[in-house]
Amino acid sequence: RFARVVADWEARGIARSWTDTFSAIDADGIETRKTGPMRWSAPAGLRSLALDLADGLDLESGRTVEHAAPFRVDGRDAGEVVLAMPEPQARRLADGIPVSPQEWEPVIAVALRWEERRWPVDLHGAFINGDPDVAFLADDGDRRGDGAPVLVVHTTGERAARHLDDPDAAIAPVTAAARRLLRIDVEPIAAHAHRWTFARPVRTTGEPFFRSPGLSVCGDAWGESAAVRTAWASGDALGRALAGS
């Protein structure tokens, strides 16, 4: 079912196939190419996919929610409440949800822009092995399809944990690591750091979702492996269960 959803997104330009080839780069900069599953991108961001799925619904976007409880949001009647988010975030909103605590790994994503591309045009993306600062990097212009000379670099969990209170402090070590790994001899002309406190679950639950009367939880930690398809399948399965009850 998710493949049909993605095919529709592709037909309407909301998602685009990106690449089936990533590199693996070791700490000395030695690169090995690996072919695997097709990677996809959402040119307008993942939020655009969620908003597209909600098209036609009575949707209120951009509202801050302070508290959730069974059948209630911020003290108002709300019918069935679904928290589609990492468990630590769900626990901040809802008191005493009967879900086991989940451990998540943080990432700081650093976007680096040059005046022109300083890396091979067929790099696409690379997993970094053995580096204390960088775990993954991608040619973001290649991912988006606009050719912009921008790298997005994901830190290791250890480096991210040191800078969650000050993400900009990760820019210098991440820039140095990216330049060393890709042998770039000039500094970027712009850099931006984004804190991603709950980037990926350390382990998944194996269950499709959590459901209790009036308050349920779903997301990419609910399933066999963390991925966008898992997040969709979790929400789809929970939605079907609620609609059929």
The CATH code of the domain that includes 123 is 3.90.660.10
Partners of 136 in beta bridges: 127, 154
Please calculate the CA angle 205-47-191 and round it to the nearest 5 degrees. Answer: 100
Q: Is 61 inside a domain boundary?
A: no
Whether the CB-CB separation of 178 and 137 falls below 8 Å is answered with: yes
pTM of the model: 0.90
Q: Is 57 inside a domain boundary?
A: no
Higher-confidence residue of 105 and 30: namely 105
Higher-confidence residue of 95 and 143: namely 143
Instruction: Please give the average per-residue pLDDT across 183-198, as a whole number.
Output: 97
Q: Is 56 inside a domain boundary?
A: no
Residues 160, 153: Cα–Cα separation, whole Å: 12
Please say if the pLDDT value at position 4 is more than 90. yes
Range of the domain at 88: 68-103+203-243
Task: State whether 138 and 181 are in the same domain.
Answer: yes
Per-residue confidence at 59, pLDDT binned at 50, 70, 90?
Answer: confident
Residues 35, 20: Cα–Cα separation, whole Å: 6
Please say if the pLDDT value at position 98 is more than 90. no
| CA within 13 Å, CB half, 220 | 11
Total structural domains within the chain: 2
Instruction: Please give the average per-residue pLDDT across 5-10, as a whole number.
Output: 97
Q: What does pLDDT average to over the chain?
A: 94
Task: State whether 31 and 74 are in the same domain.
Answer: no
Residues 175, 192: Cα–Cα separation, whole Å: 11
Task: State whether 29 and 133 are in the same domain.
Answer: yes
Please say if the pLDDT value at position 239 is more than 90. yes
Q: Is 49 inside a domain boundary?
A: no
Which pairing describes strands 72-73 and 68-69: parallel, antiparallel, or unpaired?
A: antiparallel
Percent pLDDT > 70 in the chain is 100
Please say if the pLDDT value at position 97 is more than 90. no
Task: State whether 224 and 132 are in the same domain.
Answer: no
